[in-house]
Copies of this chain bind each other. A is one copy, B any other.
């Protein structure tokens, strides 16, 4: 009885932490673009919650972000963090932010893929939904900033989320234990993402 409860609490804490990181990133991007207070709030919401909302709507579920208040609280706190003096707040591209972002990405990709499988989505589109939940918020943020979404041409980011989704789907297919599968998927995503930032890995392009 204790184990699952501890595990659930860890996942829950990590979910809220990931939401907070994405909210801060959205707020900093908005502040950097010269948006006003409401623009900062909107970009925080969209970056942190947009991917999960799109995924849940496709699944026919009410998005957790509107069913429960704590996500909105976290996002508002994250957005307010940009009001901290510049000497205190971390730059958008610093290592601590990159690491927290990679943790959030891994968690959202794993949890989103599991959610899709639990809702009777076929394995192949489940990979797609898991990736959408993890990177969709960033895509909407970039659209609102009037930029080509970074994930389409820069870095290894969506690919790391997709890798996590594929590991989850294959692990579940092979009837492996859900916890080791989730852990392996998360580590694969985190490792690929951090490796890509550290060593400048890029996906190939087609000439």
Contacts and interface: CB of A to CB of B under 8 A. Distances in A.
A36 B153 CA distance: 5
A67 B63 CA distance: 19
Nearest to A129: B66
Nearest to A83: B206
Interface string A46-85: 0000000100011110110111110111000000001100
A174 interface: no
Contact of A205 (B35, B121, B139): B35
A66 B206 contact: no
A145 B142 CA distance: 11
B149 A147 contact: no
Nearest to A158: B38
B144 A146 contact: no
Interface string A183-207: 0000000000000000000111111
A151 B203 contact: no
B152 A35 contact: yes
Contact of A67 (B53, B72, B122, B128): B122
Contact of A66 (B67, B68, B125): B125
Interface residues of A, number: 60
B129 A30 contact: no
Given A65-B125, A122-B67, A143-B143, A151 B39 contact: yes
A4 interface: no
A203 B41 CA distance: 12
Nearest to A42: B152
A147 B204 CA distance: 24
Given A35-B205, A59-B66, A60-B60, 9 more contacts: A33-B148, A35-B152, A36-B202, A37-B159, A38-B162, A39-B152, A69-B125, A144-B152, A146-B147
